[in-house]
Amino acid sequence: MKWFQKEVRLPAVKRGFHLITDLLEAQLPELEDINVGLAHVFIKHTSASLTINEDADPTVRQDFESHFNHMVPENQSYYRHTLEGSDDMPAHLKAALLGNSVTVPITKGKLNLGTWQGIYLCEHRNHASKRTVVVTLQGE
């Protein structure tokens, strides 16, 4: 059994849902050494999240952004955590709903996602900086 762990710095992106599957695979040549295993991807932030969903039609990502903005609106009178801007508390709530990690099977040196699946960086802040994920690979 092999274990490998690496921090990957993601580029700063605008608010929204962004595919990062290809970027992660490009940063992880170690995947090729694993025939059967798991890749665990964890984001080290509280105002961004990760999820897996449709990777072919970009309108899915637009609809995710629209839905989460409707479900968790900004500028609510009951928010107390407001010093970092009107998008901050909603960003924390969205991140809590979506989660901070995904786990993907590795098969024959590749992430074994479904035909139409991709890993999303869900950026919930209007002006976020680069984000960091920790990728842990386990397998043989």
Q: Residues 111-123: pLDDT tens digits?
A: 999 999 999 999 9
Whole-prediction pTM: 0.97
pLDDT of residue 30: 97
Provide mean pLDDT across the span 40-44. 99
pLDDT of residue 26: 98
Question: For residues 90 and 96, is the Cβ–Cβ distance under 8 A?
Answer: no
pLDDT of residue 51: 98
pLDDT digits (tens, 9 = 90+) for 62-84: 999 999 999 999 999 999 999 99
pLDDT of residue 90: 98
> What's the CA gap between 42 and 50, in Å, rounded?
8
- The fold of 2-139 is Jelly Rolls (2.60.120)
